[in-house]
Structure 1
Amino acid sequence: MKAQRPKENRRLALATAPLVLFLLLFFAYPVARLCVLSFADPEGPLASYARLLSVPAYRAGLMATFGISSLVTILSVLCAYPVAYLMASVRPRLAALLGLCVLLPFWTSSLVRTTAWIILLQRYGVINSLLLHAGLIRSPISFIYNLSGVLIGMTHVLMPFVVLPLYSAFRGLDRSQLDAAEGLGGSWLKIIGRLVLPLTSRAACSGAAIVFMSALGYYVTPALMGGARETMAAQLIAFNVEDQLDWPMAGAFSSIIVAASVMIFACAQRLSGPGGLFGSPVKATQATRSDVAIRRSPLDWGVAACGAALLFFLILPLLIIAPMSFGASPFMSFPPEHLTWRWYHQVFTRPQWRAALWNSLQIGMIAVTGATILGSLAAIGLDALRGRVRTAAEMLIIMPMIAPAIALAIGLYYEFAPLHLLSGHWGLGLGHIVLASPFVFIAVRSALQRFDPTLLDAATGLGAGPLRVTYRVLLPAIAPGVAAGAIFAFVTSFDDVVLALFLTDVRSRTLPRLIYENVSQDINPTVAVASTLVALATLLVLSINLLLTKSKS
């Protein structure tokens, strides 16, 4: 791509324009207009911000947002280190299996995982029942509807964002340096403090930045697992729109969390070095690629055991939710005493569940088609851009992954309501294209980095025109990346809750929205069934992607 002539560069640069224009229209403009609304208060342009600081509930919500986000970030980093170290210190086949334990929850719907944690942690849930039967406690412990529930749920959802870059950093460590330090008499505590932590700090900071930015706009987990004291900014934004019709106040909260996200993202991009937050992973050294597992000290074994326990923590909700969906009792219990297909029959025969599933599939197809075309074109054309234009375009494309989903949802709701786009599939479909396009862009960019650009020059030199070169040479080479991006786009659309809550009505609501509504009222076996189906659909799609990747390699 770098060898393209100036005229061809200009032609390629145009491929980035459709996604950039789309995001300007359906992402940047709605979010910016929502932020501008914060200055439209009848009492004055800064009245909303003054009220945000003076009203105790708003001030407490803002403090809770940054406080909980900080705690979740710290917990995610602390928990990610043992997991990443364990994955990097075992044989490749076992590392692949452990990586699967991280990736399965990572790509499984956060709503499904939150639902599973509610079942596990509720007053007479699985964990309290086990503790009571074991005689370890006399009365149930309040694990949820308080700070502990929010921290458990959010850490479980966001911890993989730190595990993955840390694993890459550990794989890049030169094992001979650690062996030399140990041979010179250094204790493992000194080795960790003076070698491991400094060499992995950049990856940890990158993951922590992603976790903190994501936590700032979190909505589902605090709403379902938190109490009044754990009300966060996303919930207050929704409250001011749905109950108070106070758009300036919603805009003020949105402005603060969007500004914080952008500043953290800009700083993290600069500190992350080449490739930024979403750059290519560090390549493993020969020592860490060996098929021989490393020799472990007692401390090393302790870290590995801690990592194994945390991996079990990651997959626990998936292990619980499916068996409970087969329980014959109308009350959730684990393990189920009797098995039945009754609840599955209800889900597939009730019109509301069938309609919600069909809506999710239709909207997913809209998202996949739009995001795959726009994201792939943008990835192909980005190399033709130079300087600040390229930086600005790349940042705009990545920003939907960083900006709080609640701000996008409210911004699109404000724009789509007058256009009557909230009663069908297209309003939410356009929103999902915004969310999914960055995943396609990153997947195709990764495929392009492995592509030899001299093949294009060779084909052109042999007389092939631009279209023939594209269809015969470029597209077949990046097809695995396009397929992976399309799969990630479908998963992103199929799992979304926040946009679905605001951009659909009763007739067009999706399966995740229907699950959310049922969980908010009362958890019953049909919710476990629907959650299991969403998880299985996600795993099926990701398995297809894995098989396609292996067949192309």
Structure 2
Amino acid sequence: MAIVALPAGLPGRRLGWLVLPLLLFLVIFFFLPVGRLLSLSFAGATGPWEHYLRAASVPAYRVALATTFEIAALVTLISVVLAYPVAYLMATVPPRVTRLLTLCVLLPFWTSSLVRTTAWIILLQRNGALNTLLTEGGLTAQPIAFVYNMSGVLIGMSHVLMPFVVLPLYSAFRGIDANLVHAAETLGAGPWSLCRRLFLPLTAPGMLAGATIVFMNALGYYVTPALMGGPAQTMIAQLIAFNISEQLNWGLAAALSVAVLGATLLVFSLFQVVFGLEKLLGDSSAPVAATPFAVGSRGRSAGGWVLVMAGVAVVLFLLAPILIVFPMSLGSSPFLSFPPSNFSLRWYEEFFNRPQWIASLWNSLQVAGIAVLGATTLGTAAALALSRLRGPLGRLLETLFILPMIVPQIILAVGLFYLLAPWGLIGGHWALGLGHVVMAAPFVVITVRAALRGFDRNLELAALGLGASWPAMFRRVLLPAILPGILAGAVFAFITSFDDVVLALFLTNVRSRTLPKLMYEGVAHEINPTITAVAALIVLFTLAVLLTNLVLQRRAR
């Protein structure tokens, strides 16, 4: 192992062992359950390939596999197409407007995916706001089927995953030197030539990074296709859950898991080989051009104005389901309509007066507490160790710590269920809490690693050289510097836990079910107006957490 050079005897040289707690935790609660699940795929009564042959011979499984790749590819394409106008708009407006647009992108990004999916169902259903607008405006004679089909799946998944492309694309635009654009214009390049020969090649790495994340996430997606799709849009994750919960066919579910996991890891490995892990994770040290990209000396072209209008439309698309939830939650009618004819707090009172809603909220907060404490502690320690490790070992450990973000959640959920059920841990807070630590720890590692890259190591050496012990230096020098990264990681951990549905479906029961699971059960059967009040409260709660995090980060700085 290669370690950053420090004077002999300094405790900082011995921080490499801090990777062990997170590594051991992941071995027990990630690699072991996933490995045991995948091994079941080779435990057939007639041979090791029995389940694979069945998956290949049954038409329903072949169709679902093809549908999974089709939906993942279409969602990735739509996300890229929609992200370019937003990234261009963010890069070519004044800084104050850029900050506002960034907030408009991040607010949906941080908001629960279940809340957004629920809002889209309300918005797009047969008697929803969009069909009401179209029919009353005379644009259509009959309501259009926007949901419970392919269009519903593509709209819902693209809305959830598109911000993963917007953010790296914006960074790529900021990395384009405006002088390069001026030089190209001086040499006679027109808007189309600039786009084809300059902007697209220079933003391609950022676009590919975002597209890779979207595609990998889409392959294992569960909630949105299950709620917004129909039978023809059944994806592999749904069949894995079906074979476990309905058929009790662990071997076939494991074989399907191997298929989707193999495809995910293949995409991840190819990207890592070509571009590197830092580009996939959004390297915070990526250079910003000395003269960042802006509108050219000729002003915006006609195509530029088209991109601006498209960018504004996409931002409205991102905000629409969140904004529509609030007025609908204030309606008094038991039938969802937009805009509501009468305003009332009836559904908020229903939420606070129903014991099952309050109990599920308390369960979610308890599980999130376990996730935040565990992920923040383990992730921060691992990030400190990784900052001292170099060479193949450091890259290997970083990859291992990132894998829980790559592996589809349905595989982790089923693997943990198979591991923990014999121990009698299913149905309590700890099984789900430990699963959420697995999911959230990589976010903490990434955010704290980014903070450590911006830390001047000379301050550490100066403090140690002046006689401070390493704990004193950490408390008074290092910790204040990386505290914003730790807080951001803790917020990521909280929202990751509070938003989870997939693990909760397998690791909780009626008494321990979380708020997202109770919402999912309600949406899957019939949308009660109380769910709109819950969705609005979750959005407000998420916004409060984000604002609190921003305030704490400013004070820490």
Q: Using structure 2 for the length normalisation, give the TM-score.
A: 0.97
1:339 and 2:343 correspond: yes
Cα deviation, residue 525, structure 1: 1.1
**8 Å Cα contact 1:447-1:481 kept in structure 2:** yes
> What number of residue pairs does the alignment pair up?
553
User: Which residue in the other structure is 2:70 paired with?
Assistant: 67
Task: Name the CA shift for 1:57/1:11 in 2 (closer, same or farther; >3 Å).
Answer: same
**8 Å Cα contact 1:2-1:453 kept in structure 2:** no
Unpaired segments ≥5 residues, structure 2: none
1:507 alignment partner, one of 504, 507, 511 = 511
How many angstroms apart in 1 are the aligned matches of 2:179 and 2:72? 37
Cα deviation, residue 466, structure 1: 2.2
What secondary structure does 1:38 align onto? helix
Cα deviation, residue 5, structure 1: 4.7
Instruction: Point out the more displaced range, 279-288 or 371-380.
Output: 279-288
User: Which residue in the other structure is 2:457 paired with?
Assistant: 453
Cα deviation, residue 184, structure 1: 2.6
Task: Name the CA shift for 1:322/1:469 in 2 (closer, same or farther; >3 Å).
Answer: same
**8 Å Cα contact 1:331-1:525 kept in structure 2:** yes
Matched ranges for 1:153-164 at <5 A: 153-164=156-167
1:78 alignment partner, one of 77, 81, 102 = 81
Cα deviation, residue 230, structure 1: 0.4
Matched ranges for 1:257-336 at <5 A: 257-273=260-276, 275-281=278-284, 282-288=286-292, 295-336=299-340
Task: Name the CA shift for 1:11/1:94 in 2 (closer, same or farther; >3 Å).
Answer: same
2:227 alignment partner, one of 220, 224, 227 = 224
**8 Å Cα contact 1:153-1:221 kept in structure 2:** yes
User: Which residue in the other structure is 1:475 paired with?
Assistant: 479
How many angstroms apart in 1 are the aligned matches of 2:145 and 2:65? 24
**8 Å Cα contact 1:460-1:469 kept in structure 2:** yes
How many angstroms apart in 2 are the aligned matches of 1:289 and 1:552? 31
Q: Deviation per CA, 1:238-259, whole angstroms, max 9, x where unpaired?
A: 0000000000111011111111
1:16 and 2:16 correspond: no
Unpaired segments ≥5 residues, structure 1: none
Q: Deviation per CA, 1:495-552, whole angstroms, max 9, x where unpaired?
A: 1111111110000000000000000010121010111111111111111112222334
User: Which residue in the other structure is 1:527 paired with?
Assistant: 531
**8 Å Cα contact 1:109-1:495 kept in structure 2:** yes
Instruction: Point out the more displaced range, 427-436 or 35-44.
Output: 35-44
How many angstroms apart in 1 are the aligned matches of 2:302 and 2:504? 50
**8 Å Cα contact 2:181-2:296 kept in structure 1:** no
1:407 and 2:427 correspond: no
Amino acid at match of 1:116: A
Task: Name the CA shift for 1:459/1:212 in 2 (closer, same or farther; >3 Å).
Answer: same
Matched ranges for 1:32-181 at <5 A: 32-181=35-184
How many angstroms apart in 1 are the aligned matches of 2:66 and 2:226? 16
User: Which residue in the other structure is 1:422 paired with?
Assistant: 426
Matched ranges for 1:359-398 at <5 A: 359-398=363-402
Task: Name the CA shift for 1:143/1:354 in 2 (closer, same or farther; >3 Å).
Answer: same
Amino acid at match of 1:522: E
Q: Which runs of 4+ in 1 moved over 6 A?
A: 289-294
Amino acid at match of 1:375: G
Amino acid at match of 2:423: L
Q: Deviation per CA, 1:80-133, whole angstroms, max 9, x where unpaired?
A: 111101110111100110011100000101100000000011011110110000
How many angstroms apart in 2 are the aligned matches of 1:81 and 1:93? 20
**8 Å Cα contact 1:89-1:293 kept in structure 2:** no
**8 Å Cα contact 1:90-1:293 kept in structure 2:** no
**8 Å Cα contact 2:6-2:13 kept in structure 1:** no
What secondary structure does 2:334 align onto? coil
Instruction: Point out the more displaced range, 385-394 or 96-105.
Output: 385-394
Amino acid at match of 1:549: Q
Cα deviation, residue 6, structure 1: 6.7
CA RMSD, aligned part only? Answer: 1.7
**8 Å Cα contact 2:387-2:449 kept in structure 1:** no
* Identity across the alignment (%): 56
Cα deviation, residue 150, structure 1: 0.4
Q: Deviation per CA, 1:431-461, whole angstroms, max 9, x where unpaired?
A: 0000110111111111111111112211211
Task: Name the CA shift for 1:304/1:383 in 2 (closer, same or farther; >3 Å).
Answer: same
How many angstroms apart in 1 are the aligned matches of 2:540 and 2:35? 37
2:546 alignment partner, one of 542, 548, 553 = 542
Q: Deviation per CA, 1:358-405, whole angstroms, max 9, x where unpaired?
A: 000000100000001000000001133332221221011111111100
Instruction: Point out the more displaced range, 483-492 or 372-381.
Output: 483-492
What secondary structure does 1:414 align onto? helix
Task: Name the CA shift for 1:47/1:523 in 2 (closer, same or farther; >3 Å).
Answer: same
Amino acid at match of 1:170: F
Q: Deviation per CA, 1:390-430, whole angstroms, max 9, x where unpaired?
A: 12210111111111000000000101111111121000000
How many angstroms apart in 2 are the aligned matches of 1:86 and 1:454? 39
What secondary structure does 1:275 align onto? helix
Cα deviation, residue 186, structure 1: 2.0
Task: Name the CA shift for 1:294/1:86 in 2 (closer, same or farther; >3 Å).
Answer: farther
Amino acid at match of 2:381: L
Q: Deviation per CA, 1:151-210, whole angstroms, max 9, x where unpaired?
A: 000000000000000000001111222232233322211211111100011111111100
Amino acid at match of 2:373: T
User: Which residue in the other structure is 1:237 paired with?
Assistant: 240
**8 Å Cα contact 2:495-2:542 kept in structure 1:** yes
Cα deviation, residue 292, structure 1: 11
Cα deviation, residue 46, structure 1: 0.6
How many angstroms apart in 2 are the aligned matches of 1:186 and 1:441? 44
1:4 alignment partner, one of 3, 6, 19 = 6
How many angstroms apart in 2 are the aligned matches of 1:420 and 1:412? 12
How many angstroms apart in 2 are the aligned matches of 1:547 and 1:465? 31
Cα deviation, residue 13, structure 1: 0.4
1:353 and 2:357 correspond: yes
1:444 alignment partner, one of 441, 445, 448 = 448
1:493 and 2:500 correspond: no
Amino acid at match of 2:194: I
How many angstroms apart in 1 are the aligned matches of 2:6 and 2:364? 42
Amino acid at match of 1:213: M
How many angstroms apart in 2 are the aligned matches of 1:299 and 1:349? 54
How many angstroms apart in 2 are the aligned matches of 1:78 and 1:421? 45
**8 Å Cα contact 2:360-2:518 kept in structure 1:** yes
Task: Name the CA shift for 1:136/1:529 in 2 (closer, same or farther; >3 Å).
Answer: same
Q: Using structure 1 for the length normalisation, give the TM-score.
A: 0.97
How many angstroms apart in 1 are the aligned matches of 2:91 and 2:409? 33
Task: Name the CA shift for 1:441/1:293 in 2 (closer, same or farther; >3 Å).
Answer: farther
Cα deviation, residue 10, structure 1: 5.5
What secondary structure does 2:493 align onto? helix
How many angstroms apart in 1 are the aligned matches of 2:96 and 2:296? 11
How many angstroms apart in 1 are the aligned matches of 2:85 and 2:49? 46
Amino acid at match of 1:156: H
**8 Å Cα contact 2:91-2:293 kept in structure 1:** no
